[in-house]
């Protein structure tokens, strides 16, 4: 912390954002209350200079706390959290007061996205000009002429305010659109293109290259393979079938479809291997940085790619000026840049998993690898050591993102070690060959089709690995953990890792010796009063079990499933009864999978005791739900 003020500032910045999102009022009164409480406690509990030794001593552990978190760190945390909290509250007010729902509005804007094709309309992002910086989604009828990136348009239409969360733990359209810096939707009635190609020249060019790359991929590969390759290389997953996405998610390899550090790493390796012997190491590194920046433009600046690109640039830039980069500062700088641009991106699942996975590898990979390493082995096989390293990386990332996988998806993939190990052997060649294939296709389409032969094989293998998600017992449904459980999990994980390091360190520093002595002291005190502690734990256990079986109030929940009915009844003895399950009349939306099951898991139920059907209309029950 001492030499990483940016990291401290980022932690404070995140605290301020989360406070603004969950409590929706200023964090300043909270700090005033904390300092007032601290001052009162300090005056009331002044310890004398000489006092009897106590295991649980406020003064002793308070001194340790001051060593770990000095006054400068507290000051940075408070200032950065107040700043971010103020930004979130201000932006929340701005979004809420943009327009009224159903209001007929006229705006002049610029198209800043490629079209997204929906069943009855095209969807575009438009940046509103000459006003506050925000975007809107345009729903444009397919009867209208298609729009292009950079078109300046004048339009008139009906504004639709984003909907709030309808069920506990359900989808919140308002918060999701804020992560995209979008203030709502406009159902367009009239639209006129005023001018063409009005976007920034670099953005316009990057968009055109991205569009041409997608067209080349679609021309060379069949539809299923093309959609996978666009996800792997450009981060575009909208064309991938839902079944394939679910297989990737269940097999715990969905991260390969989101551009991250792995993709950037292979891109850097490919560029440097291609150029370093031709133009020299320093020029190669400069060109690599330029390519990374341009690639970020092409991929649409998703949070995971921004993190990977910024960290890659910092590392390469440090090598150019002969300075060793600090991985924690690199993470902090990239995250601070992302959250400064849009604080609501803290809610982005890709950002959470990307950063947590990286942090998990940094914190736990050395420990897990050390556990796997046996001193008895006289001969170390390269392949075995490589496999151990891959397993350590996969496990260290998995233990860090596990509670967030349960929180967002309620699924734990059983075969994640096998699938990640298999993917690690083929993903590098696929990404490098894929980039090379696209580049060559701009000049020689026939040669790129030859390169597509081994690439097709790699994509087929990747698809085959994802089908581990279809095997029996491939996943376990988990109830949604609450925020307190997640905090306890991370505290326990960190403490376990630190204790393991302390007990296996060859040269202990004074702080580690103190911690080791404190643990030994706790063990000694426990052995002295073993019967008393065991009796206390038994009493707590009995009370917990007893309270579980005590009859509770009857609870009835009405689940919002749109057009239709669904009711969950929880009896006093914790029996669950589901009456109806809803159903989408159009057949485009699986209410059971997308609404009812997530709702039950968010309520903490992984099974239902009774299911009742009032009648067989499709808005009450669909046979395929």
pTM, 2 dp: 0.85
Q: Would you kindly state where each structural domain of the chain is located, as residue ranges?
A: 5-96, 104-199, 207-477
The per-residue pLDDT for range 28-52, each reduced to its tens digit, is 999 999 888 877 877 765 555 555 5
**pLDDT over 70 at 377, yes or no:** no
Q: How many Å apart are CA 604 and CA 487, to the nearest integer? A: 18
Read off φ and ψ for residue 131, nearest 5 degrees.
Answer: -140, -165
| Contact call for residues 184 and 406 (beta carbons, < 8 A) | no
Q: What is the mean pLDDT of residues 502-518?
A: 76
**For residue 227, what pLDDT band results from cuts at 50, 70 and 90?**
confident
CA 13 remoteness from chain centre? 17
The per-residue pLDDT for range 118-167, each reduced to its tens digit, is 878 899 999 888 765 678 999 998 888 888 888 999 999 999 999 888 88
Distances in Å between the Cα of 260 and the Cα atoms of 8, 408, 548 are 24, 19, 44
Say which residue, 621 or 90, is predicted with more confidence. Answer: 90
Residue by residue, DSSP assigns 221-261 as S-HHHHHHHHHHHH---TTS-HHHHHHHHHTT-GGGGS--H
**For residue 244, what pLDDT band results from cuts at 50, 70 and 90?**
confident
Tokens linked to 567: 């009711």
Highest mean pLDDT among 14-23, 36-45, 254-263: 14-23
**Sign of the Cα pseudo-torsion (300, 459, 386, 353, in order):** positive
**For residue 88, what pLDDT band results from cuts at 50, 70 and 90?**
very high
Which residues contact residue 476 at a Cβ distance below 8 angstroms, ignoring those fewer than 6 apart?
A: 411, 412, 414
| Contact call for residues 107 and 138 (beta carbons, < 8 A) | no
Q: How many Å apart are CA 330 and CA 359, to the nearest integer? A: 12
Question: Is residue 278 exposed (0-12), middle (13-18) or buried (19+ Cβ within 10 Å)?
Answer: exposed
Say which residue, 88 or 208, is predicted with more confidence. Answer: 88
Instruction: Give the pLDDT confidence score for residue 81 in this predicted structure.
Output: 94
Which numeric CATH code is attached to 104-199?
A: 2.40.50
Q: How many Å apart are CA 450 and CA 436, to the nearest integer? A: 12
**pLDDT over 80 at 276, yes or no:** no
Element (DSSP H or E) covering residue 537: helix 530-549
DSSP assignment letter at 621: B
**pLDDT over 70 at 224, yes or no:** yes
Tokens linked to 261: 């550090």
Instruction: Give the pLDDT confidence score for residue 625 in this predicted structure.
Output: 42
| Contact call for residues 441 and 490 (beta carbons, < 8 A) | no
Location of structure tokens 């643990």: 519
Q: What is the mean pLDDT of residues 288-292?
A: 85
Residue by residue, DSSP assigns 81-110 as HHHHHHHHHHHHHHHHTS--TT-EEEEEEE
Q: What is the mean pLDDT of residues 564-587?
A: 84
**pLDDT over 60 at 378, yes or no:** no
| Contact call for residues 149 and 199 (beta carbons, < 8 A) | yes
Say which residue, 503 or 587, is predicted with more confidence. Answer: 503
Q: How many Å apart are CA 202 and CA 439, to the nearest integer? A: 19
Q: How many Å apart are CA 243 and CA 248, to the nearest integer? A: 9
**For residue 82, what pLDDT band results from cuts at 50, 70 and 90?**
very high
| Contact call for residues 313 and 273 (beta carbons, < 8 A) | no
Q: Which residues pair with 516 in a beta bridge?
A: none
Percentage of the chain with pLDDT > 70?
91
**pLDDT over 70 at 57, yes or no:** no
Distances in Å between the Cα of 221 and the Cα atoms of 96, 443, 450 are 45, 17, 11
Q: What is the mean pLDDT of residues 234-258?
A: 81
Instruction: Give the pLDDT confidence score for residue 27 in this predicted structure.
Output: 92
**For residue 98, what pLDDT band results from cuts at 50, 70 and 90?**
confident
Q: How many Å apart are CA 336 and CA 10, to the nearest integer? A: 6
By three-state DSSP, how is residue 194 classified?
Answer: strand
Q: What is the mean pLDDT of residues 346-374?
A: 85
The per-residue pLDDT for range 404-463, each reduced to its tens digit, is 988 888 888 888 888 888 888 888 888 888 888 888 888 888 888 888 888 889 889 988
CA 481 remoteness from chain centre? 16
């Amino acid at each position: 912390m001492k030499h990483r003020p940016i990291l401290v500032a980022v932690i404070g910045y995140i605290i301020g954002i989360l406070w603004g999102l969950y409590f929706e009022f200023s964090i300043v009164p909270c700090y005033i209350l904390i300092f007032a409480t601290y001052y009162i406690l300090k005056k009331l509990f002044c310890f004398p200079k000489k006092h009897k030794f106590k295991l649980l001593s406020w003064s002793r552990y308070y001194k340790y706390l001051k060593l770990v978190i000095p006054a400068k760190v507290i000051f940075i945390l408070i200032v950065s959290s107040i700043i971010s909290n103020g930004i979130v509250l201000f932006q929340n007010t701005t979004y809420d007061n943009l327009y009224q729902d159903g209001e007929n509005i006229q705006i002049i804007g610029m198209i800043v996205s490629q079209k997204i094709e929906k069943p009855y309309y095209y969807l575009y992002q438009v940046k509103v000009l000459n006003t506050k910086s925000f975007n809107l989604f345009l729903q444009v009828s397919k009867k209208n002429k298609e729009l292009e990136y950079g078109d300046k348009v004048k339009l008139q239409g009906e504004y639709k305010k984003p909907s709030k969360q309808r069920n506990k733990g359900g989808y919140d359209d308002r918060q999701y659109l804020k992560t995209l810096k979008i203030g709502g939707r406009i159902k367009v009635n009239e639209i006129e293109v005023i001018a063409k190609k009005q976007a920034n020249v670099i953005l316009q060019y990057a968009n055109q290259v991205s569009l041409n790359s997608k067209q080349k991929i679609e021309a060379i590969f069949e539809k299923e393979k093309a959609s996978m390759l666009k996800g792997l290389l450009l981060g575009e997953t909208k064309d991938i079938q839902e079944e394939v996405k679910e297989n990737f998610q269940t097999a715990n390899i969905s991260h390969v479809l989101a551009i991250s550090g792995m993709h950037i790493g292979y891109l850097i390796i490919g560029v440097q291997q291609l150029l370093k012997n031709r133009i020299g190491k320093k020029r190669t590194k400069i060109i690599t940085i330029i390519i990374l920046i341009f690639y970020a433009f092409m991929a649409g600046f998703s949070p995971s790619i921004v993190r990977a690109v910024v960290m890659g640039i910092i590392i390469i830039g440090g090598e150019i000026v002969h300075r060793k980069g600090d991985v924690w500062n690199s993470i902090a700088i990239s995250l601070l840049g992302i959250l400064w641009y849009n604080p609501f991106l803290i809610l982005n699942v890709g950002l959470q998993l990307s950063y947590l996975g990286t942090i998990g590898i940094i914190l736990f990979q050395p420990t897990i690898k050390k556990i796997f390493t046996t001193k008895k082995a006289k001969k170390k096989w390269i392949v075995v050591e490589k496999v151990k390293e891959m397993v350590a990386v996969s496990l260290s990332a998995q233990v860090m993102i596990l509670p967030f996988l349960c929180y967002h998806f309620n699924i734990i993939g059983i075969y994640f070690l096998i699938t990640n190990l298999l993917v690690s052997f083929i993903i590098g060649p696929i990404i490098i060959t894929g980039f090379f294939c696209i580049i060559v296709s701009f000049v020689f389409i026939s040669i790129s089709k030859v390169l597509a032969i081994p690439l097709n094989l790699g994509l087929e293998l990747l698809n085959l690995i994802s089908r581990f998600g279809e095997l029996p017992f491939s996943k376990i449904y988990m109830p949604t953990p609450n925020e307190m459980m997640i905090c306890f999990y991370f505290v326990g994980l960190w403490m376990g890792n630190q204790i393991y390091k302390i007990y296996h360190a060859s040269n202990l520093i004074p702080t580690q010796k103190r911690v080791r002595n404190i643990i030994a002291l706790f063990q000694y005190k426990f052995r002295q009063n073993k019967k008393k502690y065991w009796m206390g734990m038994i009493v707590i256990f009995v009370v917990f079990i007893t309270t579980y079986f005590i009859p509770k109030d009857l609870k009835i929940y009405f689940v919002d499933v749109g057009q239709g009915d669904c009711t969950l009844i929880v009896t006093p003895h914790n029996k669950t009864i589901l009456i109806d399950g809803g159903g989408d009349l159009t057949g485009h939306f699986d209410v059971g999978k997308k609404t009812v099951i997530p709702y039950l898991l968010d309520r903490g139920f992984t099974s239902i005791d009774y299911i009742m059907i009032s009648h067989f209309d499709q808005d009450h029950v669909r046979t395929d739900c």
